[in-house]
């Protein structure tokens, strides 16, 4: 039963071990990414884990237990453990065994095809507290105000409910997509964008109208949102990560639709406009201020769009739990949340409706190809002495702010400026960024930079009037800089996979000349930062990106040692072919 020629080992703890050098690696990775989460991606073996949430998202996306088990059996060296087979079938059968529906009188009810399932969930005190009286042995009433909270609790007890209770239409609003944008460009939805819109609406079926669309940065999530608005033909509330993102959404809506400036409002710290389409930020909604929270009830919204839904803060989750009758669209490049609240996104915004692999869109030319390089910087004797004497958290910062990163950044910037590229130097620590701004004679954009100045600087690099900016975490999300082709990451937030993905995403809009994007992650070798860097890279590795390794020697300023730049998998194959040691 053992087949050493296959690439996968399925273990009884629901972990999956995939050989990175196997000829079937890419096809196996594409299959696993549909129903499992990448946990670790060292050079030789990638580790995935199957979770109930990953299986429930797969189920909603149309992947069945038979398809998963057949794929695992085809790829696995050993027979798939029986307990794993049972858990996959059990988890996927649980999705949809409970449904929220409307009865003939329009009242909300929880329905179970099996009365024993309903009896089981009513045995959980937190679930029972949200339910009303029984309406037969298979259903019970649900107060409308408990719709979201009930879905949260049912997910936590292992029974994700399918919400078929429908949504309010909202105040009608005529919205048309223009065949030609006001800026003079032809406007047509790309095939995957149209599939995303159709998947959200579920072709008009009852389960349509709530859920998450996952697309890479640069793949046109905003246009998917606008096309969804056009389908809704109703007043819409859009929530974003920043004021700059708000204004980008408004500009896109006015450029691509029939809506006028009088119909689209900005609700931020600068303006408080409530209009048929209103665009606001998570920050202002999250303030403990009834006036701002009332924005959710300020209009009869037919659709609420959550941009970068993976960043949804707790106060907005709480409000969203109470507005389940509104259609809800989440847009994101990754469903990963470092706080572990993916289940709340699933239950309150909706399950994943559509997901397009990054490398698939790259192969089709919809997003730019990208070359990822981890540049390892040694520590000087003085830095290593400070590092050795520090506690664990301080060690990370000392490594992140390694002063020997500066000459490496200068060398990379010089190389790409000469090539005509537009460049972002991006990091977490303001003291480090200020020093780099001075060393590079480049403007610095942080959260303290006035909004008008941010827009001016971003506009200059967008138009090609400037080649280089130093930016803080404010540039992680929703910044539209289509011709920026180089990002140099000097520091980050520990092992944040979503941050790494978002930073690479700044580069992925296709370039006018078709050139490849370059993403550099500068890491202090032999430090805690190097360990966290491996964690940060997991999501992008799952999408098919490979980090090549480079070293920089500060002893010879201005010299980037390119000899150690290696595709590790290719190098191991080369050595094996030559009969050399497999120690790349």
The SS3 of residue 404 is coil
* Residue 35 C-alpha from the chain's centroid: 16
Residue pair 189/227 in contact by the 8 Å Cβ criterion? yes
Q: How far is CA 117 from CA 85, 137, 154, 246, in A?
A: 22, 10, 11, 44
Sheet holding 547-552, edge to edge: 444-445, 468-471, 423-426, 486-489, 517-524, 370-377, 547-552, 560-566
CA atoms within 13 A on the CB side of 312: 32
- Closest-CA residue to 226 (of 165, 290, 173): 173
Distance in angstroms (rounded) separating the CA atoms of residues 470 and 395: 24
Tell me if 282 sits within 8 A of 316, measured CB to CB: yes
What is the H or E stretch that residue 549 is in?
A: strand 547-552
**Are 130 and 109 spatial neighbours (Cβ–Cβ below 8 Å)?**
no
Q: Are strands 210-214 and 352-355 parallel, antiparallel or unpaired?
A: parallel
Which contiguous run of DSSP H or E holds residue 460?
helix 451-463
Gap between the Cα atoms of 382 and 237, Å rounded: 54
Cα angle for residues 225, 228, 231 (degrees, 5° grid): 155
Quick one: pLDDT at residue 43?
Answer: 64
Residue 460's nearest CA partner among 448, 469, 450, 449 is 469
Burial status of residue 204 (CB atoms within 10 A of its CB: 0-12, 13-18, 19 or more): exposed
- pTM attached to this predicted model: 0.81
In this predicted structure, what is the pLDDT of residue 310? 84
d(CA 370, CA 391) in angstroms, rounded, equals: 36
How confident is the model at residue 558, as a pLDDT?
Answer: 46
Give the chain's domains with CATH numbers.
Answer: 8-94 (no CATH), 98-163 (3.30.780), 191-356 (3.40.50.300), 365-578 (3.40.50.300)
Distance of alpha carbon 53 from alpha carbon 55, whole angstroms: 5
β-strands 547-552, 370-377: how paired?
A: parallel
Which residues is 108 bridged to in the sheet?
102
* Residue 559 confidence (pLDDT): 41
Q: What are residue 352's DSSP bridge partners?
A: 212
Give whole-number Cα distances, 282 to 56, 73, 153, in Å: 27, 44, 24
* Mean pLDDT (10-residue bins), the chain, 584 residues: 91 93 89 84 80 90 92 95 95 92 92 93 94 92 95 94 92 94 90 94 80 89 96 95 91 96 93 94 74 78 93 83 92 79 89 85 87 91 92 91 93 92 93 96 92 90 93 78 89 81 84 87 91 82 81 62 40 44 33
Are 213 and 199 in contact, with CB atoms under 8 Å apart?
yes
| Beta-bridge partners for 186 | 180
Determine the pLDDT at residue 569.
38
């Amino acid at each position: 039963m053992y087949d050493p020629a296959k690439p996968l080992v399925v273990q009884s703890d629901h972990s999956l071990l995939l050989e990175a050098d196997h000829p079937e690696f890419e096809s196996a990775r594409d299959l696993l990414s549909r129903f499992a989460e990448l946990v670790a991606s060292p050079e030789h073996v990638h580790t995935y884990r199957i979770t109930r949430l990953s299986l429930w998202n797969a189920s909603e996306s149309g992947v069945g237990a038979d398809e998963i088990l057949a794929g695992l059996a085809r790829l696995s060296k050993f027979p798939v453990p029986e307990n794993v087979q049972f858990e996959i079938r059990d988890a996927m059968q649980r999705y949809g065994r409970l449904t929220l529906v409307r009865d003939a009188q329009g009242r909300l009810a929880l329905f179970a095809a099996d009365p024993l399932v309903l009896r089981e969930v009513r045995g959980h005190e937190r679930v029972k507290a949200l339910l009303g009286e029984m309406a037969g042995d298979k259903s019970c009433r649900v107060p409308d105000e408990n719709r979201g909270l009930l879905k949260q609790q049912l997910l936590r007890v292992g029974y994700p409910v399918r919400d078929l209770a429908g949504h309010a239409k909202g105040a009608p609003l005529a919205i048309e997509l223009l065949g030609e944008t006001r800026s003079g460009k032809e406007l047509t939805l790309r095939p995957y964008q149209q599939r995303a819109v159709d998947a959200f609406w579920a072709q008009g079926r009852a389960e349509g109208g709530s859920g998450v669309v996952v697309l890479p940065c640069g793949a046109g999530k905003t246009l998917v949102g606008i096309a969804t608005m056009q389908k809704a033909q109703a007043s819409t509330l859009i929530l974003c990560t920043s004021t700059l993102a708000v204004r980008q959404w408004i500009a896109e809506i006015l450029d691509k639709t029939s809506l006028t400036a009088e119909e689209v409002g900005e609700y931020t710290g600068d303006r408080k406009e409530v209009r048929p389409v209103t665009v606001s930020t998570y920050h202002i909604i999250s303030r403990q201020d009834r006036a701002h929270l009332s924005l959710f009830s300020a209009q009869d919204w037919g659709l609420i769009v959550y941009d970068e839904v993976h960043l949804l803060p707790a106060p907005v989750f709480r409000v969203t739990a109470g507005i389940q009758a509104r259609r809800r669209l989440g847009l994101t490049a990754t469903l990963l949340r470092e706080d572990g609240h993916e289940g709340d996104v699933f239950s309150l915004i909706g399950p994943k409706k559509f997901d397009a692999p990054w490398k698939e869109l790259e192969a089709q030319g919809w997003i730019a190809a990208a070359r990822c390089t981890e540049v390892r910087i040694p520590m000087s004797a003085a830095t290593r002495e400070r590092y050795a004497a520090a506690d664990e958290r301080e060690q990370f910062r000392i490594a992140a702010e390694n002063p020997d990163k500066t000459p490496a950044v200068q060398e990379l910037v010089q190389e790409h400026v000469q090539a005509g590229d537009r460049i972002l130097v991006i990091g977490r620590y303001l003291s480090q960024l200020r020093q780099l701004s001075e060393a590079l004679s480049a403007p610095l954009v942080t959260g303290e930079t006035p909004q008008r100045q941010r827009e001016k600087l971003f506009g200059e690099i967008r138009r090609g009037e400037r080649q280089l900016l130093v930016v803080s975490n404010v540039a992680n999300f929703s910044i539209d800089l289509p011709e920026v082709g180089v990002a140099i990451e000097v520091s980050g937030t520990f092992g944040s996979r979503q941050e790494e993905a978002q930073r690479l995403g700044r580069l992925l809009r296709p370039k006018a000349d078709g050139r490849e994007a370059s993403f550099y992650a500068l890491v202090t070798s032999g430090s805690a930062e190097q360990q966290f860097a491996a964690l940060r890279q997991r999501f992008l590795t799952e999408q098919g990106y490979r980090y090549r390794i480079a070293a920089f020697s500060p002893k010879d300023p201005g010299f980037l040692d390119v000899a150690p730049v290696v595709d590790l998998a290719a190098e191991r194959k080369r050595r094996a072919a030559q009969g050399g040691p497999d120690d790349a």
